[in-house]
């Protein structure tokens, strides 16, 4: 039966990843860094093999009528392979989080307790079309001492198989235990379903992709999940704002890269400055090709804006569309964000100190900004190094997830025969 | 329809807890501590009301034929109420985790980033018979700035309703926002099922109870879960161990309080010392009334021991039963723990430094002990203050979960108009 074969593949690979986890966790930093370097070299050396596999995926995608935007996400090139390889070298240069003594103390009975950072164990990644995630995720997991089970999008399957083969061979050649890098090689949905429920082998699942993918994982997984990425981010322009600064922040947050999760999706403007500010930012946004979906008060000022519906306040457009609402007060802005925000990144532009403070306290999000663009929510921009995703949940990790967020801790307790009275 | 009414109750209460979360998160430490003190006072002042409600639960439990052990878990007394009240005062005296600046730095572009500890938001607690959990959990959640939705066992429903009413009234009188303490007042299973899937209102679920309860929550929840408490803990007696120390640790880990998750369930003994050690510890355990389930090699030494089956290696007895296995080597002990342990608490008794180090590195558990009893895995014993449970998963929190583990963080970013290039 087909389903059983699929389940069997996933179970075998999860077992193999689990079996390799103990040795992987104990691998010295130098060996991990050598492995990452070897993986980077192998990608460059074997780029013809990779490009060939990728060109088959691209051909199938075009045959299947995928949009050119989607085909572009799938596409590898010499340059893109070089960038992915450079990413691995960057990870090799980051400090190893494993073994860090986070805190330690001695108890009155003489027990010595240390809280030591250790790998999570087995990380399952479920992601969509871009094949670079295969390499990025494997590199970060290896550096953090984890084994990884990769499950990419079906459109990129041949590329992912080729990439995983190349990096796994290189890694195993440098002491990474065989089995530490697993790729699910079947496109069937049942494979992902099975992976989500293997809590005896998999310690954490990280879905990366659109809202549908993430929802499916959260709804079906019994393995603990870190939700990533959906960003319905707001910029609120207060009546005390420097409007020139506000314009530059709004345009940057919306337009600098509209397809990513930390781009702004809704602009909130205080009524007292709505007329002046909207007349200013409207043309600036129009010049960038931004389409507006606006509340009635906005449309009185910018009649070319379309009418916003309830759906617009909830939308993560990921494109050059911006919802705009005039609010009566600071409080109403916070209420709007509380009601519609996805707890990713939220910004206020203000000159009022108390409002800046209250915004930071009241707004519940991974990153809260005063007078800066939401586009900075990013491991690299925060100075934390490469990231495996942006968490929008509150457990374990919030915001950019780098190497440290791919670890957990254990308490190591040293005694001299202590027993509990 | 009954189900709809049940769902409606849960949804209404979850909405109310969510609505109170913003004000709760902003409540100053002094107000939280006053509320905890008032809650403690109210419990003592209204103990007759509480005891009356409890006596109805106890009567029903006896009528339903519950064992006296279970009835005892349910029972409140003047003394037990005083102990619960004292627990609240202890929590009031613990430092407030909210607002801690965990780390902060400045980026080259001038952005100032701080990582600030903030409440989780809305915590759902699903637990079994002991009514003190109602108060303990509410107290810890309030101190950590969270609102809480409590769902206790049906046998304790009248006690829990009375307790929640008393503490909520007292808390609201001291500035805790109305709605911050919610108790699901229906005994139907559908209520718990609904609570587990309200991810738009509930930030985290903490199940506390037996394996069945925890499994049901993990399997059905879409709200992120922190698993607690199943402890299949081992003590491994190495061939280099001080056998007198080993005896005292084994007896303590098994017998000091056998019904708790950090009690030892399996003893592993190195073959080289098996004869001497088992002849020593066997009678000591027998004296405490411990029944042994043992491997063939153990039974050659202690013929009175019953034969262990595969199930015994997996069992969390929570009673005076101990599985015993003779292992050929340190490595086999680690393999056994890796195969059967529940990642809670594991101990080695050894005089060999390298083995102590390797045990701490290789064994994957929340707490790893060298020459001490597993019974110390406890918030109080670690010096961390009162705990809401012991996490056996790796995400977010591992081991004892106190106030800090009931929080998350946000990044607060201050700029002066920075935009991303």
Residue of chain A whose alpha carbon sits nearest to that of B204: A395
Distance in angstroms (rounded) separating the CA atoms of residues A275 and B251: 78
Look up residue B388 and give its DSSP letter: S
User: How far, in Å, are A29, A119, A172, A402, B138 from residue A95 at the CA level?
Assistant: 9, 14, 21, 11, 40
Residue of chain A whose alpha carbon sits nearest to that of B201: A339
Q: Does position A1 have pLDDT exceeding 50, yes or no?
A: no
Chain B residues whose beta carbon lies within 8 Å of the beta carbon of residue A105: 383
A317: contact with B, CB 8 A cutoff: no
Q: Are B52 and B135 contained in the same domain?
A: yes
Q: Does position A211 have pLDDT exceeding 90, yes or no?
A: no
Q: Are B250 and B215 contained in the same domain?
A: no
A372: contact with B, CB 8 A cutoff: yes
Exposed / middle / buried, residue A277 (Cβ in 10 Å: 0-12, 13-18, 19+): buried
Residue A392 included in any domain: no
Q: What is the CATH number of the domain that holds A405?
A: 3.40.605.10
Domain hosting B147: range is 2-227+397-414
Residue B30 included in any domain: yes
Residue A373 included in any domain: yes
B111: contact with A, CB 8 A cutoff: yes
Q: What is the dihedral of CA A42, A44, A47, A49, to 10 degrees?
A: -10
Q: Are B248 and B223 contained in the same domain?
A: no
Compare CB distances from A415 to B26, B371, B418 and report the shortest one's residue.
B371
pLDDT given for residue B298 in this prediction? 98
User: How far, in Å, are A71, A386, B105, B130, B200 from residue B102 at the CA level?
Assistant: 43, 21, 11, 35, 27
Per the structure block, which two tokens stand in for A307?
Answer: 């009418």
- Best CA proximity match to A364, nearest among B29, B411, B99, B181: B411
Q: Nearest CA to CA, how far is A342 from chain B (Å)? A: 10
* Window A:228-267, CB contacts with B under 8 Å: 242, 245, 248-249, 252-253, 256
Chain B residues whose beta carbon lies within 8 Å of the beta carbon of residue A339: none
Q: Are A247 and A219 contained in the same domain?
A: no
Residue of chain A whose alpha carbon sits nearest to that of B361: A26
Q: Which of B410, B414, B421 to mutate to test the interface with A (most CBs of A within 10 A)?
A: B410
Residue of chain B whose alpha carbon sits nearest to that of A249: B419
Q: pLDDT (tens digit, 9 = 90+) per residue, A288-330?
A: 999 999 999 999 999 999 999 999 999 999 999 999 999 999 9
| Cβ neighbours around B385 below 10 Å, total | 18
Chain A residues whose beta carbon lies within 8 Å of the beta carbon of residue B377: 411
Look up residue B188 and give its DSSP letter: -
Q: Are A189 and A215 contained in the same domain?
A: yes
Residue of chain A whose alpha carbon sits nearest to that of B219: A222
Q: Are A407 and A355 contained in the same domain?
A: no
Q: With an 8 Å Cβ cutoff, are B419 and A225 in contact?
A: no
Number of domains in chain B: 2
A339: contact with B, CB 8 A cutoff: no
Q: With an 8 Å Cβ cutoff, are B222 and A222 in contact?
A: no
Distance in angstroms (rounded) separating the CA atoms of residues B38 and A121: 45
Q: With an 8 Å Cβ cutoff, are A338 and B219 in contact?
A: no
Q: With an 8 Å Cβ cutoff, are A375 and B113 in contact?
A: no
User: How far, in Å, are A2, A266, B36, B214, B363 from residue A313 at the CA level?
Assistant: 43, 7, 39, 37, 49
pTM of this prediction exceeds 0.90: yes
Exposed / middle / buried, residue A14 (Cβ in 10 Å: 0-12, 13-18, 19+): buried
Q: Nearest CA to CA, how far is A171 from chain B (Å)? A: 22
- Best CA proximity match to A291, nearest among A327, A267, A260: A267
All residues at 6 or more sequence positions from A185 whose CB lies less than 8 Å from its CB, including other chains: A9, A157, A161
Q: Which residues pair with A183 in a beta bridge?
A: A150
* Window A:210-229, CB contacts with B under 8 Å: 218-219, 222, 224-226
Cβ atoms B392, B228 nearer than 8 A: yes
pLDDT given for residue A69 in this prediction? 84
Q: Does position A217 have pLDDT exceeding 60, yes or no?
A: yes
**Interface predicted TM-score (ipTM) of this complex, two decimals:** 0.94
Q: What is the CATH number of the domain that holds B368?
A: 3.40.309.10
Angle, CA of B91, B93 and B94, to the nearest 5°: 65
Q: With an 8 Å Cβ cutoff, are A365 and B113 in contact?
A: no
Spell out where A46-151 has E strands: 101-106, 112-119, 122-127, 147-151
Q: pLDDT (tens digit, 9 = 90+) per residue, A349-375?
A: 999 999 999 999 999 999 999 999 999
* Window A:275-304, CB contacts with B under 8 Å: none
C-alpha torsion sign, points A178, A181, A186, A191: positive
Angle, CA of B379, B380 and B383, to the nearest 5°: 90
Q: With an 8 Å Cβ cutoff, are B373 and A412 in contact?
A: no
Q: Which of A201, A238, A372 to mutate to test the interface with B (most CBs of B within 10 A)?
A: A372
Residue of chain B whose alpha carbon sits nearest to that of A215: B222
* Window A:8-37, CB contacts with B under 8 Å: 21-22, 25-26
Compare CB distances from B393 to A224, A365, A411 and report the shortest one's residue.
A224
Compare CB distances from A371 to B382, B394, B415 and report the shortest one's residue.
B415
Residue B66 included in any domain: yes
* Window B:119-158, CB contacts with A under 8 Å: 120-121
Compare CB distances from B369 to A249, A383, A415 and report the shortest one's residue.
A415
Chain B residues whose beta carbon lies within 8 Å of the beta carbon of residue A419: 248-249, 252-253, 256, 372-373, 375
Residue A360 included in any domain: yes
Residue of chain A whose alpha carbon sits nearest to that of B218: A222
User: How far, in Å, are A124, A169, A217, A241, B406 from residue B71 at the CA level?
Assistant: 44, 60, 41, 63, 30
Compare CB distances from A371 to B219, B362, B416 and report the shortest one's residue.
B416
Residue A420 included in any domain: no
Q: With an 8 Å Cβ cutoff, are B394 and A249 in contact?
A: no
Chain B residues whose beta carbon lies within 8 Å of the beta carbon of residue A418: 371-373, 376
Residue A386 included in any domain: no
Q: Nearest CA to CA, how far is A111 from chain B (Å)? A: 8
Chain B residues whose beta carbon lies within 8 Å of the beta carbon of residue A226: 395
All residues at 6 or more sequence positions from A370 whose CB lies less than 8 Å from its CB, including other chains: A347, A348, A350, A356, A359, A360, B412, B413, B414, B415
Q: Are B18 and B160 contained in the same domain?
A: yes
A412: contact with B, CB 8 A cutoff: yes
Chain A residues whose beta carbon lies within 8 Å of the beta carbon of residue B419: 248-249, 252-253, 256, 372-373, 375
Q: With an 8 Å Cβ cutoff, are A368 and B411 in contact?
A: yes
Q: What is the dihedral of CA A362, A363, A364, A366, to 10 degrees?
A: -130
Cβ atoms B224, A395 nearer than 8 A: yes
Residue with tokens 């041949």: A158
Q: What is the percentage of chain A residues whose pLDDT exceeds 90? A: 90
Q: Are B325 and B406 contained in the same domain?
A: no
Q: With an 8 Å Cβ cutoff, are B204 and A395 in contact?
A: yes
Distance in angstroms (rounded) separating the CA atoms of residues B138 and B133: 8
Q: Are B279 and B185 contained in the same domain?
A: no
Q: Nearest CA to CA, how far is B326 from chain A (Å)? A: 22
Look up residue B261 and give its DSSP letter: T
| Cβ neighbours around A361 below 10 Å, total | 18
Chain B residues whose beta carbon lies within 8 Å of the beta carbon of residue A245: 417
Q: Are B215 and B307 contained in the same domain?
A: no
Print the SS3 string covering B121-135: CEEEEEECCCCHHHH
Q: Are A28 and A166 contained in the same domain?
A: yes
Residue A150 included in any domain: yes
Q: With an 8 Å Cβ cutoff, are A410 and B224 in contact?
A: no
Q: pLDDT (tens digit, 9 = 90+) per residue, A65-123?
A: 998 888 998 999 999 999 999 999 999 999 999 999 999 999 999 999 999 999 999 99
Low-confidence spans in chain B with pLDDT less than 50: 1
Q: pLDDT (tens digit, 9 = 90+) per residue, B17-64?
A: 999 999 999 999 999 999 999 999 999 999 999 999 999 999 999 999
Q: pLDDT (tens digit, 9 = 90+) per residue, A395-416?
A: 999 999 999 999 999 999 999 9
Residue with tokens 């530490």: A180
Q: Nearest CA to CA, how far is B372 from chain A (Å)? A: 5
Residue B322 in 3-state DSSP? strand
H or E element in which residue A416 lies? strand A407-418
Compare CB distances from A371 to B204, B399, B417 and report the shortest one's residue.
B417
Cβ atoms B181, B151 nearer than 8 A: no
pLDDT given for residue A3 in this prediction? 64
Compare CB distances from B370 to A242, A399, A414 and report the shortest one's residue.
A414
Number of CB pairs < 8 Å for A and B?
199
* Window A:45-104, CB contacts with B under 8 Å: none
Distance in angstroms (rounded) separating the CA atoms of residues B367 and A313: 46
Q: Are A403 and A306 contained in the same domain?
A: no
Pairing label, strands B321-327, B291-294: parallel
Mean of pLDDT over chain A: 95
């Amino acid at each position: 039966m087909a389903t059983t074969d699929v389940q069997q593949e996933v179970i075998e690979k999860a077992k193999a990843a689990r079996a390799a986890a103990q040795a992987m966790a104990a691998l010295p930093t130098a060996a991990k860094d050598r492995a990452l370097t070897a993986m980077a070299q192998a990608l460059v050396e074997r780029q013809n093999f990779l490009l060939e596999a990728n060109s088959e995926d691209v051909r199938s995608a075009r045959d299947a009528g995928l949009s050119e935007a989607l085909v572009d996400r799938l596409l590898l090139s010499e340059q893109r392979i070089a960038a992915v390889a450079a990413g691995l070298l960057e990870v090799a240069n980051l400090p190893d989080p494993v073994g860090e003594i986070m805190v330690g103390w001695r108890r009155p009975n003489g027990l010595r307790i240390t809280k030591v950072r250790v790998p999570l164990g087995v990380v399952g990644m479920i992601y969509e079309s871009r094949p670079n995630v295969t390499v990025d995720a494997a590199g970060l997991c290896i550096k953090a001492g984890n084994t990884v089970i990769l499950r990419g999008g079906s459109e990129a399957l041949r590329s992912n198989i080729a990439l995983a083969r190349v990096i796994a061979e290189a890694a195993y050649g440098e002491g990474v235990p065989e089995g530490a890098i697993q790729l699910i090689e079947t496109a069937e949905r049942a494979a992902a379903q099975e992976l989500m429920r293997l809590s005896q082998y998999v310690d954490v699942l990280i879905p990366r992709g659109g809202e549908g993918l993430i929802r499916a994982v959260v709804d079906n997984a019994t393995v603990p999940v870190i939700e990533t990425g959906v960003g319905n981010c707001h910029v609120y322009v207060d009546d005390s704002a420097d409007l020139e600064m506000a314009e530059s922040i709004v345009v940057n947050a919306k337009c600098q890269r509209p397809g990513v999760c930390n781009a702004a999706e809704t602009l909130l403007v205080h009524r007292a400055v709505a007329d002046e500010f909207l007349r200013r930012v409207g043309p600036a946004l129009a010049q960038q090709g931004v389409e507006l979906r606006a509340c009635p008060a906005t449309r009185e000022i910018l009649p070319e804006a379309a009418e916003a519906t309830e759906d617009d306040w909830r939308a993560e457009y990921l494109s050059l569309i911006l919802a705009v609402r005039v609010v009566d007060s600071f409080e109403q802005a916070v209420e709007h964000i509380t009601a519609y925000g996805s707890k990713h990144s939220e910004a206020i532009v203000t000159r009022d100190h108390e409002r800046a403070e209250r915004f930071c306290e009241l707004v519940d999000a991974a990153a809260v900004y005063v007078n800066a663009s939401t586009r900075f929510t990013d491991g690299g921009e925060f100075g934390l190094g490469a990231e495996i995703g942006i968490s929008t949940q509150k457990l374990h990790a919030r915001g950019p997830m780098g190497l440290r967020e791919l670890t957990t801790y254990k308490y190591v307790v040293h005694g001299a025969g202590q027993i509990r009275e």
